[in-house]
């Protein structure tokens, strides 16, 4: 029996193989949590895409694989990986955007559907996927994709420009694949169409990373590539402290890492390193610490007694009253209102 394969299938296979190869490289290179999550994300996505290539091969070679039980199980296992892609994407973005990110046992809960489906793969039929399973797998990725966007929008001001560009590009790539594999378009694109898109995304990303040394740095251990000397670190530390005290940029609720870095004429990733390393804080925590100190000072000033807590919070640079209340209570173990009341009582006694 002749085995048929076309150029598009070979291209799709090449991209999938490249994705698996990258997954192995990132797993072995600098064993930090972000690299491991990205490696697993690549692997899960590549396996899911490989499933479509296998099905396309089956269409090119009717009857060749239908009698093979392991082939059916491989296809169903491939679909099951869709329930792992969403959580891995979400957790990878958290690991890149949150300076204090660490693995928690509770994160395993995200993967319960995936583990269950992998376990029961030998016992389910195509009807499970046809009548709801495929829709659930797509909605799983879509839901986590939206959560990932929310995390990115909320925290992208905490990282350097190179990381922002990488994560933004990754979001665009995932969005393209979601669009291509959407139930509305899949009928037109077919099994191999999305796989080819994935191959193009992987090959272009790989080429970009290999020729761009700055891009490579986003996969290295934090600060591994930094060439900042101790004197320069101290200089930036003093400069940012002086800027925060004199110009009070923290009063601007739209303050970002890039804006603050530009105000003291240093690269954003250098400033991020200094804040993280010298102050043991993320950029957001560092800025909020100044806002909290300013809020405390204004709460103690009798001239501000006419101001509502919400108005005072906005004046100090917070753009959310609940966030202000939560951070203030965490710092002072009392709400801003209680703090103001206790201060008045102390003055009168």
Distance CA 15, CA 152 (A): 27
Residues of the chain with CATH 1.10.10.60: 230-348
Query: What's the whole-number mean pLDDT along residues 156-174?
Result: 79
Residues 6 or more apart in contact with residue 319 via CB below 8 angstroms: 253
| Residue closest to 270 by CA, chosen among 235, 241, 298, 299 | 235
Helix ranges, the chain (H): 7-28, 33-60, 69-80, 82-97, 112-120, 126-128, 134-155, 161-180, 183-211, 213-216, 230-246, 257-263, 268-278, 283-300, 309-315, 321-332, 336-348
Q: How confident is the model at residue 302 (pLDDT cuts 50, 70, 90)?
A: confident
In this prediction, residue 225 carries a pLDDT of: 42
- 230-348 folds as Arc Repressor Mutant, subunit A (1.10.10)
- 7-219 folds as Rhopdopsin 7-helix transmembrane proteins (1.20.1070)
Distance CA 33, CA 87 (A): 14
In this prediction, residue 220 carries a pLDDT of: 55
Distance CA 28, CA 35 (A): 9
Residue 174 pLDDT greater than 60, yes or no? yes
Q: How confident is the model at residue 224 (pLDDT cuts 50, 70, 90)?
A: very low
Could you tell me the two tokens for 281? 């804080």
In this prediction, residue 158 carries a pLDDT of: 67
pLDDT, tens digit, for every residue of 56-89? 777 777 766 555 677 778 788 888 999 999 999 9
Residues of the chain with CATH 1.20.1070.10: 7-219
- Does this model's pTM top 0.75? no
Could you tell me the two tokens for 334? 């009392």
In this prediction, residue 24 carries a pLDDT of: 86
First to last CA, the chain: 98
Residue 117 pLDDT greater than 90, yes or no? yes
Q: Output the average pLDDT for the chain.
A: 82
47-64 burial string, b = 16+ CB within 10 Å, else e? bbbbbbbbbbbbeeeeee
In this prediction, residue 197 carries a pLDDT of: 80
Between 68 and 266, the more confident residue is: 266
């Amino acid at each position: 029996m002749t085995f048929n394969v076309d150029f598009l299938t070979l291209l799709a296979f090449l991209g999938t193989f490249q994705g698996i190869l990258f997954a192995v490289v990132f797993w072995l290179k600098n064993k930090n949590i972000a690299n491991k999550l990205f490696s697993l994300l690549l692997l899960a996505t590549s396996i899911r895409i490989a499933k479509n290539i296998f099905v396309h091969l089956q269409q090119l070679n009717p009857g060749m694989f239908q009698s093979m039980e392991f082939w059916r199980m491989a296809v169903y296992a491939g679909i099951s990986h869709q329930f792992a892609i969403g959580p891995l994407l979400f957790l990878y973005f958290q690991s890149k955007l949150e300076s204090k990110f660490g693995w928690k046992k509770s994160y395993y809960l995200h993967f319960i559907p995936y583990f269950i489906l992998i376990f029961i793969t030998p016992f389910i039929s195509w009807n499970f996927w046809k009548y709801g399973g495929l829709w659930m797998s797509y909605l799983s990725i879509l839901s986590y994709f939206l959560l990932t966007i929310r995390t990115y929008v909320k925290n992208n001001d905490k990282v350097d420009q190179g990381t922002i560009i990488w994560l933004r590009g990754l979001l665009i790539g995932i969005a393209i694949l979601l669009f291509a594999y959407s139930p509305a378009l899949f009928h037109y694109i077919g099994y191999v169409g999305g796989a080819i898109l994935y191959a193009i995304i992987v090959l272009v990303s790989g080429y970009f990373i290999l020729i761009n040394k700055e891009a490579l740095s986003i996969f290295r251990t934090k600060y591994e590539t930094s060439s900042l000397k101790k004197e320069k670190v101290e200089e930036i530390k003093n400069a940012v402290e002086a800027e925060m005290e004199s110009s009070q940029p923290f009063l601007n609720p739209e303050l970002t890492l890039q804006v603050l870095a530009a105000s003291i004429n240093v690269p954003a990733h250098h400033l991020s390193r200094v804040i993280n390393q010298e102050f043991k804080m993320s950029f957001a925590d560092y800025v909020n610490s100044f806002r909290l100190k300013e809020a405390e000072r204004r709460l103690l000033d009798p001239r501000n007694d006419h101001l509502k807590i919400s108005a005072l919070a906005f004046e100090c640079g917070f753009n959310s009253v609940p966030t202000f209340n939560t951070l203030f209570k965490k710092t002072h173990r009392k709400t801003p209102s209680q703090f103001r009341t206790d201060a008045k009582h102390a003055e009168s006694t």
